[in-house]
């Protein structure tokens, strides 16, 4: 009879539990197939609720002057994009991506019956639904989509980059995910790899032999990733946390790690007070980091394979508050960066005078963006709750 406790005591996997990346737990479902030039999605979560109105500024809307007396950006601090809208001047590098046809803005993104709680709204974005039935299942819009999709032996479906908890969006019953905050996380000490002669002998169980093989390959891959991700890049990354994370992601993409999705976040967007300076700094960090990342991939000849999604759990209220900030709102813009975008401006900017209880009315349901990215970009199946959603002419 199978002795589960005995197996656990003898398993090399258990002895490596503190140092082996989490994706090894699901490697029994993996295959040896290589991926080659499959498309990759990079997700940047703007955590806290980005003020979309001072990010993509409506030029012809009288409501901007009416509601933003102290927080209104003067024309000298705007980068005019079209006759209808401009970018915050701190997004100069993002403006360059726009001029180079490497950026698309989706206006007025939200969902029906919006929730202004950070936790609840982000949960809806992570799951890809605001229906309680889907939320309670605990699967994310990305994680559920992988289903039984095979991966290269030793590779994850997705990688979460950062020291925050793994986002719900990557949760899935068959989704293999690992988290990493810096290259050192991928270094496995050789002294911890317990591949004894007993384990390698002909008497070892087939599963134990398989585990040993996985551990050995994980050690080799981890060392290679660690070495590659510490190499310098000529892309000129700024000295910021987000830039460091994107540089690490670029290194893993260039190393052909095998993951199709990379996820990270930039915190700090909950600007209830003193918004102008804080928000400007955040947008500057996002802009310079994103441009360096895209340039890095271009230099490596990989830019055509990568699409970047930048989103936030909600926008801010249209009217400023008494603390020179803004409170939790609803709709906001979504950025997409890449070379395979069909159009640079998608949707209609919400009116700042035709409001819903002081908030913007959304025009694009975020689930349409998700469905398009999953099917048209990644070639994955849709979770059942995203069936019927899709944006036409979003991707080329």
Q: Note the pLDDT tens digit of each residue in 221-243.
A: 555 555 555 556 666 899 999 99
239 falls within a domain: yes
395 falls within a domain: no
What is the extent of the structural domain holding 373?
A: 4-386
Measured CA to CA in angstroms, residue 335 lies from 50, 245, 309, 346 at distances of: 12, 18, 6, 10
Give me the mean pLDDT over the 125-130 stretch: 96
Give the model's pLDDT for residue 151: 67
Q: What three-state secondary structure class fits 314?
A: coil
393 falls within a domain: no
Beta-carbon contacts of 137 under 8 Å, excluding residues fewer than 6 positions away, are 127
278 falls within a domain: yes
Give the model's pLDDT for residue 135: 86
Give, in degrees to the nearest 5, the angle at Cα 163 between 173 and 366: 55
173 falls within a domain: yes
Taking the CA atoms of residue 376, residue 86, residue 67 and residue 70 in that order, the dihedral angle to the nearest 10 degrees is 130
Q: What three-state secondary structure class fits 299?
A: helix
Give the model's pLDDT for residue 377: 97
CA atoms in the 13 A half-sphere facing the CB of 136: 3
| 79, 92 contact by CB (below 8 A) | yes
CATH number of the domain encompassing residue 301: 3.40.720.10
- The band of 14, judged by pLDDT with boundaries at 50, 70 and 90, is very low
Q: How far separated are the first and last CA of the chain, in Å rounded?
A: 57
Supply the mean pLDDT for the chain.
84
Give CA–CA dist 159/41, Å, rounded. 11
CA atoms in the 13 A half-sphere facing the CB of 11: 16
| 235, 293 contact by CB (below 8 A) | yes
pTM of the model: 0.85
**DSSP assigned state of 377:** I
Give, in degrees to the nearest 5, the angle at Cα 382 between 108 and 103: 40
394 falls within a domain: no
Q: What three-state secondary structure class fits 393?
A: coil
Burial of 164 (0-12, 13-18, 19+ CB in 10 A): middle
- Count the domains in the chain: 1
Tokens of residue 237, six digits: 């990354």
27 falls within a domain: yes
350 falls within a domain: yes
| 155, 186 contact by CB (below 8 A) | no
Q: Which of 12-21, 59-68, 87-96, 212-221 has the lowest mean pLDDT?
A: 12-21
- pLDDT reading at 371 higher than 90: yes
Q: Work out the angle between the directed axes of helices 241-254 and 206-229 (0-180°, nearest 10).
A: 120
Give CA–CA dist 237/296, Å, rounded. 9
Tracing tokens 């806290």 back to the chain, one arrives at 48
Give the model's pLDDT for residue 96: 97
């Amino acid at each position: 009879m199978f002795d589960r406790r005995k197996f656990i005591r003898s398993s090399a996997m258990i002895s490596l539990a503190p140092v082996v990346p989490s994706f090894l737990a699901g490697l029994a479902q993996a295959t040896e197939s290589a991926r080659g030039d499959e498309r990759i999605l990079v997700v940047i979560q703007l955590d806290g609720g980005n003020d979309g109105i001072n990010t993509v500024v409506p030029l012809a809307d009288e409501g901007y002057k009416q509601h933003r007396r102290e927080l209104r950006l003067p024309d000298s601090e705007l980068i005019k994009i079209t006759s209808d809208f401009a970018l915050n001047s701190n997004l100069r590098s993002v403006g360059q991506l726009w001029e180079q046809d490497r950026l698309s803005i989706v206006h007025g993104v939200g969902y029906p019956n919006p929730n202004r709680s950070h936790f609840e709204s982000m949960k809806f974005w992570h799951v890809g639904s605001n229906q309680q039935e889907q939320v309670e299942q605990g699967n994310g819009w990305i994680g559920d989509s992988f289903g039984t999709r095979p991966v290269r032996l030793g590779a994850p479906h997705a990688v979460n980059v950062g020291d925050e908890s793994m986002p719900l969006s990557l949760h899935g019953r068959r989704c293999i995910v690992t988290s990493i905050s810096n290259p050192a996380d991928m270094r496995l000490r050789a002294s911890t790899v317990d591949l004894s002669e007993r384990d390698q002998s002909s008497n070892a169980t087939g599963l134990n032999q398989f585990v040993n093989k996985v551990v050995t390959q994980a050690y080799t891959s981890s060392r290679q990733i660690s070495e590659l991700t510490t190499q310098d890049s000529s892309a000129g990354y700024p000295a910021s946390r987000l830039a460091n994370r994107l540089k690490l992601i670029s290194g893993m993409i260039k190393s052909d790690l095998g993951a199709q999705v990379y996820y990270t976040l930039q915190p700090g967007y909950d600007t209830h007070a003193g918004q102008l300076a804080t928000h400007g700094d955040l947008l500057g960090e996002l802009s310079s980091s994103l441009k360096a990342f895209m340039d890095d991939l271009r230099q490596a000849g990989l830019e055509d394979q990568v699409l970047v999604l930048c989103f936030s759990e909600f926008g801010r209220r249209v009217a400023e508050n008494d603390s020179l900030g803004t409170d939790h709102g609803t709709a906001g813009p979504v950025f997409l960066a890449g070379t395979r975008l069909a159009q640079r401006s998608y949707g209609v900017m919400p009116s700042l005078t035709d409001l819903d209880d002081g908030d913007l009315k959304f025009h694009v349901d975020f689930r349409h963006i998700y469905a398009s990215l999953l099917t048209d970009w990644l070639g994955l199946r849709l979770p059942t709750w995203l069936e019927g959603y899709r944006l036409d002419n979003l991707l080329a």
